Every structure is written in structure tokens, then in C-alpha cells.
Amino acid sequence: MAQHSWVPDQGDGTYLNPIVHADYSDPDVIRVGSDFYMTASSFGHVPGMPILHSRDLVNWRLINHAVPRMPLAGYDAPQHGGGVWAPSLRYHAGKYWIYYGDPDVGILMTTADDPAGEWAPLHLAKPGKGLIDVCPLWDEDGRAYLIHAYAHSRSGIKHKLNLCEMSADGRKVLGEGRIVYDGTDKHPTLEGPKLYKRDGYYYIFAPAGGVATGWQTVFRSDSVWGPYEDRIVLHQGETEVNGPHQGGWVELASGESWFVHFQDKGPYGRVVHLQPMNWEDGWPVMGERRPGEAIGEPVLRYRKPNVGEACAVEVPATSDEFDASQLGLQWQWQANPDVRWYSLSERPGFIRLHAVPRQGESGGLYQAPNLLMQKFPAPTFVAESLVDATGLKVGDNGGLIVFGYRYSCLAVRRGSANVGVADHADDANSALTLYLAAGDKSGEAELWSLPLTGTELVRLRVEVSADASCVYSYSLDDGASYDAIPAKAFQASEGHWVGAKLGLFASGSGGGQLEVDWFRVSARVGAQN
């Protein structure tokens, strides 16, 4: 694990928060036997709805995506901020169930017999605008329910939680339901509800107060329809863990309770935390309470959950040697992938990225569907790739990218100084150039360039510091030495509801390709958790 940039398991029976320092927003978690599974929002990125597995709630591995491609209209192009919002994961009647709200479509669901296997095609359980943050509950009497919040931007409704009855087979939401809690006065921006039943009480776990500045509330009633009492059970207090925002409760075979939630860290996205949880007088107590305080605060370091066994140290994958027949599960595209974008078989041991014409009027990469990217994995890290630019044709370019509302790329182009524009000039103008560019949805500008002579193999590297600033460098001698780009450090930014991402691209009008031998992510020298 020494080469990994963030390892929460401290090897001494304790763990460090976040348990996943990556943008797994709106996490939900369940236990089935001795296995834990987690899913999270994926918004418009494809494949969507990640499935992670753990044996101890601390060490997590990405094992699948429930949505390999989006079947809804429009997802052949980027849908920034759309798509999968705040899914809920449940195990019921021998199946795994996921429900989520698409704010522009309605409530969708899917099931699987094996979370690591194939999930059923998405099914629309209730159409409607602004229905988000959904969670089902199957009661002991055979009746089923679904609770949800609202996206104000689509529905005009805010601060309220709505409960509906659902068909027993889970495929249809029955009727409009009713508002079971209005948080306008006490818990504004109430959202992200999770519905549970314990010892005859119905519980709604829901954050309020906003993603960056809010708190965790729990509501309790002896009737699923309410009325509900409320209690704040977790807040930032004197810690640096802002939010703390929505997540899920899980109970261990040992009887322990734990709560998984996220913290919004701007460019790093919404990272995942694990809080100890106890029950007092029928109410949950999360985190740790300071002397004289009634509300818990997030823990930074704590003993690991008692799962009765020692578990192997694992982290979600980041590096990829491109030796397999499939991409690593950490990779996502900006839209439904097209087989014409890439190949792992045309040159074994490499990924071949075919140059795709840029989309949109700006000429930049903000609307490019063919960006192959993954999440920032840690506060500090180094990402590096070896690219072979031999196959680029005039007007093509490709390389390393850090993406968000703002993006930057260190790339190689052949020919024209106008990135992505074909230049059929003489051979002298068709040489390769290494360049650094930055852009956003309004366009792209070149910041630096260097003509390349005598080499088409380049190592591209970006070092990310704890403030999410990015310094690029390159090597023309296979890593024997690196030259820093003489330009101001690029400040990474979050995207639409997501953290910054990093990865690879190839674009242009020449019809060529960029070949990438490997993509490696590692800890920065001297950096520690």
C-alpha cells in the first residue's frame, strides 16, 4: 500500500477519515452477511452508479457499476449535473435494489442477484420533475414505501420530504404521497432522506442546512406517516469536517452501528467518512460528543469496526497498465462511450485513443464526450502517463487533462497552433509540439508550448498539492529527468456537483490517434495521510 496516495487503514486497529478520499457523493451502504456494499451518485458520468465492496467498512474496492451506459435520451453528449442523483441501496427478498432520482426524468430503479454481476435495465418507477434523493422501505406487513426530497430548480419545492406508498414488487410508486416533514423553519434545505425501521419506530436520517455548512438530523415516529420528532445527531462542531452530509446507517453482526456520510471538499469532491454510532433512548448518537455537548462531532481517527476478522488492506484502483481486455473500473467517460473512441486490442499493452472532433462552439474540451477520466484519489498525489504521439495526424492533439468547471491539459499536437484545427501546410509545420492549455465552457487558451524534435514518446506528469494546485512537468528521456512547465500552477476546480477529475484525451480533425502505455497514480514523495 506504500505507493497509494490515501490509505485509511492504519494497520494498528484504527482507521483514518475519510475512508475513501475520492468523490463518491451521497453514499449509501448495506450489509449482507459479512459483506458490505456501497453505491454513490455518478451524475452524468458513464459508466454510472458505482458499486464498492468491503469486509470491514474501512477497506473498499470498486467492483462494478450498475449502469454501464445511460439508456436515457441525451447521454451521447455530456450532461453536466444531470443523471444519477443520490441513489439508495437495499437488500430485499434475495435481491439487491437501487433507487435514484433523476431531476429531469423521475424515480428510476434497478435490481441484481449479484452486485458484482449484471444489473437489470433501468426501470422508471415514477415519472416527474424534481423528484430526488429517494429511498425505499419494505415493512413487516408486506407494504412498501418510498421517501424522497425535491430539487427546487425543477419542482419549485424545497425543504420538504415526501412519502409515497409503493407496490410490493418495488416497480411502481403509488400516488403522489404526502409531505411527512417540512423543514422550512428548523431544518432548511432538508434533503437526502434514508428510511429505516428499528424496534417499532420509523426513522428518517436526513441532512439539512446545505452541503457545505449543514448537519445530520434524525426524525422518529411510531407511524410511517408521522408525525415525526426531530433531533440533530451530528454537526461540524469544532472539527474541520464541514457538512457533515448525507449517508447511510449500517448495523454489524456484532451489534455495532456505524454511519457513512460525505464531506464536501471542493475540488476533491464529496469524500466518504465513517462515524461510530450508538443508540440512547431510541435515538442514534453519531461521532463523539465533547464533554457537556449533546450533539456528536465527526471523528478523525478511530478504532475499526468489530467485524470479527482481520481484513486485507484495499483501496479503490487508480493506476492502469492497459494490459487487460477491459478498462479499469475507475475510468468514466463524459457521456455514453463509443467504440470508435478507443481500443485496447489494436496495440496490445496500450490504449489507443482515436482523435475525436471537438464539440461545441467554443472549440474547447468542456463539452467533449470522449474524455477518459477518474476521480482525484487523495489530497496530494502524482499522476503520470507515457504517451506515444506517433499516430497523431495534422490537426490532432492529446494527452493528460485535469477537468472541472475549469480544466487544464498538458498535451502533444501535430501541426497547427490552433488546437484541433487541421493545417495542411508543408511538413515543417507538421512537427510535434508539447503544449499546456487551460479552458472552461467559454473556450480554451494556450499557456506554453515547446517544439519536439527527435522524439514522439513523452512522459506527462501532474503533481497535485494539498490546496488542489497542479504543477505539470514532462520527460523526454523515459523518466531519467523531468522539466517543469514554466507556467503558473493551475488551480483545479470542482465540476457540476462533482469534484475535479483527471485522465486522458485525444481530439482533432486529422483522424489519427494517441497511444498510451500506462497511467499511474502514486503518493507524492514525503506526503502522508
List the catalytic residue out of 9, 23, 26, 264: 26
User: Scanning the structure block, which residue is given the C-alpha cell 462511450?
Assistant: 337
Please say whether the beta carbons of 101 and 85 come within 8 A. yes
Cell of 259: 454511519
**Sequence-distant (≥ 6) Cβ neighbours of residue 401 within 8 angstroms:** 365, 371, 373, 407, 408, 409, 411, 502, 503, 504, 505
Phi-psi region of 5 (alpha: psi -120 to 50; beta: other; left: phi over 0): alpha
Output DSSP code: residue 523. P
How distant, in Å, are the alpha carbons of 124, 145, 304, 385 from that of 171?
8, 11, 37, 45
What span, in angstroms and rounded, lies between the C-alpha atoms of 529 and 523?
Answer: 10
The reply to whether 323 belongs to the active site is no
Name the residue among 47, 29, 192 with its Cα closest to residue 119. 47
Measured between alpha carbons, how far is residue 471 from residues 53, 172, 319 in Å?
Answer: 33, 51, 19
C-alpha 308/C-alpha 310 separation (Å) is 7
**In the structure grid, which three cell numbers stand for residue 290, read together?**
465533547
DSSP 8-state code for residue 333? B
Residue whose C-alpha is closest to residue 284's, from 199, 237, 218: 218
Q: Give the distance from CA 210 to its chain's centroid.
A: 19
| 10's grid cell | 492504519
Residue 191 is among the residues annotated as catalytic for this protein: yes
The one-letter amino acid at 379: P
Among 56, 191, 314, 396, the active-site one is: 191
**Assign residue 510 a region: left if phi > 0, alpha if psi is -120 to 50, beta otherwise?**
alpha
201-208 β-sheet, strand order: 194-198, 201-208, 215-221, 229-234
Enumerate the β-bridge partners of residue 443. Answer: 440
Element (H, E) at 153: helix 152-155
The single-letter code of the amino acid at 437 is A
Per DSSP, 84 falls in state B
Interatomic CA distance for residues 330 and 324, integer angstroms: 14
AA letter at 80: H
Chain length of the chain: 529
Q: Are 8 and 17 in contact (CB under 8 A)?
A: yes
259 neighbors 57 (Cβ within 8 angstroms): no
**Residues labelled as active-site residues:** 26, 191
